[in-house]
Amino acid sequence: MRTSILSLTAALCLAAAPAFANVEIGKPAPDFSATDAQGKTQTLSQYQGKTVVLEWNNPGCPFVQKHYSSGNIPGQQSAAVADGVVWLTINSGAAGKQGHLDAKGAQDFLAQFHAAPTAYLFDGDGKIGHAYGAKTTPHLYVIDGSGTLRYMGGIDSIPSADKEDLAKATQYVPQALAELKAGKPVSVPTSEPYGCSVKYGS
């Protein structure tokens, strides 16, 4: 019964908002500035020279819950950060919308799932999400050390809220990071993102 309810909720969340920007693979990623859960200002440009992952987040989304409760995203974060990658988790949920968090809520969420991003950023006005055309939670982007966008799309190759699919799915971000580290082109630079629509205010 619980699985059926989760599947139904997930299906309802699949509707994606339209893209708001036309970011392109091989082009410079838009710079941004946002406050994180520690009250610090984070910008993309401050990480020039480092590979950066952007992950759109909504703790109330069943797809996000799948990847956090299973340890999939926290594990990817830990491995990436340990390898010198900057991982920025971004919440573009507007005030009053599903998944919107304050600083304490974000800190509690990260602690609950032993998550390890470099920082958890707030984008309540949606400026960053709109600039990148972020449609779903999760929605992932990989930016190389020169600030060039190298991957954008889904977290993996199986669009479901079922944890059992994880073992069969291609995890696109670790794959892209490994290829970039090896000096190779990213073999899958784009994929269709899946999840709940980002809960923009407008």
Predicted TM-score (pTM) of the model is: 0.90
Query: pLDDT tier at 11 (50, 70, 90 boundaries)?
Result: very low
Render pLDDT for 103-139 as a digit per residue (tens, 0 to 9).
999 999 999 999 999 999 999 999 999 999 999 999 9
CATH number of the domain within which 80 lies: 3.40.30.10
Burial category of 46 from C-beta neighbours within 10 Å (exposed 0-12, middle 13-18, buried 19 and up)? exposed
Q: Mark 101-112 as b/e (b = at least 16 C-beta within 10 Å).
A: beeeebeebbee
Q: Tell me if 175 is assigned to some domain.
A: yes
**Backbone phi, then psi, for 9, in 5-degree steps?**
-60, -45
Q: Tell me if 202 is assigned to some domain.
A: no
Average pLDDT value over all residues in the chain: 91
Render pLDDT for 132-164 as a digit per residue (tens, 0 to 9).
999 999 999 999 999 999 999 999 999 999 999
DSSP SS3 for 85: coil
Domain of residue 84, residue span: 2-197
Q: What is the pLDDT of residue 22?
A: 77
**Helix spans in the chain (H):** 2-13, 62-69, 72-82, 103-112, 127-132, 172-181
Domain total of the chain: 1
How far separated are the first and last CA of the chain, in Å rounded? 35
Render pLDDT for 90-104 as a digit per residue (tens, 0 to 9).
999 999 998 899 999
